[in-house]
Amino acid sequence: MRTLHPINAARTLFGYNAIEDKGRRKAPEKASKHEAKILTSKKRKKLTATTQDQYRNHALVAWMVRKHLDYVSKFHISFRTGNQEIDDLVNRIFRWHGRPVNIDHGARFGRDELFRLFELEKVICGDAALAKVSSMRLQAIESDLIAKGTLTREMQRDAESKAQWESVNDQGLKMTDDGARVEAYSICNRGDGKSVVFDHLEPAENVIFDAYWTRFSSQFRGVSPLATALNTIQDIHEGMEYNQVKAKMHALFGVALLRNGDASTMGGGSGVSQETSGTASTDSQTELDINPTDVNLLDLNPGEDLKVIESGTPSTEFVNGQYLFIQIALLALDIPVTAFDSRRSSFSARIADLNEYEVSVDSKRTKNRYVRQAYSDWVLANLWGSAQWRLGDVADRYGMTLRDVQEGVEWIPSGSPWLDKLKQVKGDELAIDLHLDNAIDASRRRGADVFKNIDKQIEVEKYERERRAAEGLPVVAAEPVAQPEPEGVPA
């Protein structure tokens, strides 16, 4: 018997099972590569095309993305310095610039819709860009238009265009000399619609670019978070289609006529049973004539029976399996299954799932907040010396620099909807009373601004007093509604 060396014995007893190839599953990977080598431009096109196809044709994917956008992409601006003049001016600027004709190069989308579609492109394709146009508008650049592309014959003869094109790598990026940063993006146009054509290089400072990253340093193009769920969703869709076809086939063969015949009429021995799906048999005396639009009275011969074929499709096992697969697919965007089907969960479970989801979407909201901040910084810098808006002059009167004004802009996410307003308001009220929360943050969690709420309420009360005085009615202050004390709390 061979004696095992102590070092070899340790190798057999300890280690990571994930790197041991025992032939029972996919072999472990042997090398870690640059992300651009794993997802080459050719493979990126295939992944993007597959994701776009599923978004077009699969209701589950379309709903997942819409639900994600509802929580991640909607923001409102908050600018409050305490100086009413500059507060009103900055808020007026962004109300004006948020209109489609002012913000979108194509004059189609307002600010909220433009940034929602920006996030949509990121989710579907991995990344997206907005180019800053000289007219102070933003031009949407779809992910696949950031590419090396092909050169037209005219560009091939132009030395400058050809030199720019040659400086672009396979990912559609021109990198700095040290390879650490993007210097410029290669912007393409659709050409003939079959392949993209190189248009120009856009300096990085003129582009608002964002992506979904999977690597720490060796990645410059994003990857769709849906990539982990594409195969599962395709299986779900095909399974549903196959079961629908099966159910239709059962419906086509919905009635069976059973006969007990002998060898002379059925071609077999006595006691043989035959099922037919047609409306007539070979025996004219037992012909079955059914009109689907009328009430049918059937006069059956002795030994005959009529059976309705019931379909058990889809089966309970199939439905439960699909429910599990849908739940796994939702994990790609961190969406809880209670958002898909609230009937299977209690109210407490929905609250818990929503709280967990809020944690998951926080980082995604932060990414979009940076995008919005880059946008607002650009707008304010462009209008700082504007003779029309006189933003710089107004800010100077209050001792504020451009950087002060830019940092005063805050983008607040839309927050979460109320599930049980009374209970949640009471919880917020108790947390505020115990100094565990505050009215500003509690209001922001619902996508509101406590200061704007106060201003609007004052405006309503002022209007009420004026109207009552004009009508000769007494001004009656609304009494607070008495609330019952919670159980177990001493009065």
| pLDDT tens per residue across span 120-170 | 999 999 999 999 998 899 999 999 999 999 999 899 899 999 999 999 999
pLDDT value, residue 267: 43
Q: Is the peptide bond between 314 and the residue preceding it cis, with omega within 30 degrees of 0?
A: yes
pLDDT value, residue 478: 55
Query: Environment class of residue 311 by beta-carbon count within 10 Å: exposed (0-12), middle (13-18) or buried (19+)?
Result: middle
Rounded to whole angstroms, the Cα distance separating 348 from 26 reads 40
Query: Environment class of residue 373 by beta-carbon count within 10 Å: exposed (0-12), middle (13-18) or buried (19+)?
Result: middle
Instruction: Give the three-class secondary structure for 305.
Output: strand
Assess contact for 142 and 127: CB atoms under 8 A: no
Residues of the chain with pLDDT under 50: 263-286, 489-491
Query: Taking the domains of the chain in order of start, what are their residue ranges?
Result: 255-264+271-308, 418-474
Tokens of 158: 């132009």
E-strand ranges in 163-285 read 173-175, 182-189, 197-203, 207-211, 255-261, 272-276
pLDDT value, residue 235: 93
Distances (CA, A) of 268 to 78, 272, 434: 87, 7, 88
Assess contact for 253 and 307: CB atoms under 8 A: no
E-strand ranges in 326-442 read 409-413
Distances (CA, A) of 428 to 137, 433, 440, 457: 41, 9, 11, 20
pLDDT value, residue 452: 86
* Cα end-to-end span (Å), the chain: 83
Q: How many helices (H) and strands (E) does the chain have?
A: 19, 11
pLDDT value, residue 481: 55
Q: Where are the alpha helices (DSSP H) in 388-486?
A: 391-397, 402-408, 421-433, 439-444, 450-470
Q: What is the pTM of this model?
A: 0.79
pLDDT value, residue 276: 42
CB atoms inside a 10 Å sphere around CB 208: 20
Rounded to whole angstroms, the Cα distance separating 85 from 153 reads 56
pLDDT value, residue 282: 44
The closest of 200, 240, 284, 215 to 57, measured between CA atoms, is 240
pLDDT value, residue 419: 78
pLDDT value, residue 286: 47
